[in-house]
Amino acid sequence: MEITIPEGITGQEALTVTEELSAPHCGSGLVPVLATPAMIALMEKTCLRSVQPHLPEGYGTVGTLVHVTHEHATAMGRRVSCTSKLVEIDRRRLVFEVEAQDEAGIIGRGRHERFIIENTKFLARANGR
């Protein structure tokens, strides 16, 4: 099936730093600030949601590569937003530039790759491993 997604699509998502998103809760640190895995999950979610409306029924995307920096800590209760931009399309491979920021400025940035998959086939392969 031919899938056409326009390059340059942007996305935006946000969250508030809670206990569940903190480094101690995620097991990635001891200080109660936004965990790096939580920031990365926000970046993935932003990319996922930006392209999903352009995919046919039964298709989705899965994350395959994350190359980001986490440059500044964000305290509990602060708001974090993420923006994404689709910068490259190579058949089923999608490459995004991502950036996360809080009220004080940029906290993380980098690139994220996702692959377009047919959900049922992907799940069948995963269950067969």
The answer, yes or no, to whether residue 70 has pLDDT greater than 90, is yes
**pTM exceeds cut of 0.85:** yes
CB-based contact 58:118 (threshold 8 Å): yes
Q: How distant, in Å, are the alpha carbons of 58, 74, 117, 120, 127 from that of 55?
A: 8, 34, 10, 14, 23
Mean pLDDT of 26-50: 98
Active site annotation includes 44: yes
CATH architecture of 10-127: Roll (3.10)
Residue 58 assigned ligand-binding role: no
Q: How far apart are the first and last CA of the chain?
A: 25
The answer, yes or no, to whether residue 1 has pLDDT greater than 80, is no
Confidence of residue 129 (pLDDT cuts 50, 70, 90): confident
Active site annotation includes 36: yes
Residue 60 assigned ligand-binding role: no
